[in-house]
Chain A
Amino acid sequence: GQQLNQSPQSMFIQEGEDVSMNCTSSSIFNTWLWYKQEPGEGPVLLIALYKAGELTSNGRLTAQFGITRKDSFLNISASIPSDVGIYFCAGHDAGGTSYGKLTFGQGTILTVHP
């Protein structure tokens, strides 16, 4: 089935640093979503993107829907310890047998050192 390539798999950063992670797909997506999951909890939606080229911010988080509709990135500025968690990208496939299905990346594990 459809897979997303999310990178990096993990990041170890100092508090205050900026973070960048991205996802790429082999097919065109209609939407890109970014979720954060903390231990023992379900994924929580951070940002949803619906149009190619769209750039959306949510506080210190900024995400973009790639112009080719095959990629997206998430940036976190001035990281703080509570940013720790697993960040997942997800997207709705635009066509073929996977139309409408939400596919998830493998996740980026973020660790922030105080």
Chain B
Amino acid sequence: ETGVTQTPRHLVMGMTNKKSLKCEQHLGHNAMYWYKQSAKKPLELMFVYNFKEQTENNSVPSRFSPECPNSSHLFLHLHTLQPEDSALYLCASSRASSGTDTQYFGPGTRLTVL
């Protein structure tokens, strides 16, 4: 238990569906992150939020839409995804998004797009 929870743990969706991934951190952190982990590839940073403000969008397609209503919650809204978007989506948090703060990860959501 790292203090970062993600729901759902598994999600299967069609290309026309709309779904959302949820992340919650109980560590009192101010920065939250979305990563994509595909087979045989390093973790890819998608979005960074620092004190609820988006500070990084790593050239992510618009079919992924993040939302951070407060420092403890982070959402990733999904719509019209492609099969190549199937991956493990990991949420992480840290005290802030500075140069040295350690990131703690949730268990991930395994997404399959049919």
Contact = CB atoms under 8 A, between A and B. Distances in A.
Interface of A: 3-4, 30-31, 33, 35, 40-45, 48, 50, 88, 92-94, 99-107
Interface size class of B (residues with CB under 8 A): 20 to 34
A99 B99 contact: yes
A48 B43 contact: no
Given A40-B9, A42-B91, A94-B99, 15 more contacts: A31-B99, A41-B107, A42-B90, A42-B106, A43-B43, A43-B105, A45-B2, A45-B102, A50-B100, A88-B43, A92-B99, A101-B45, A101-B56, A106-B40, A107-B42
Contacts of B99: 30-31, 92-94, 99-100
Contacts of A43: 43, 90, 105
B34 to A, nearest CB: 12
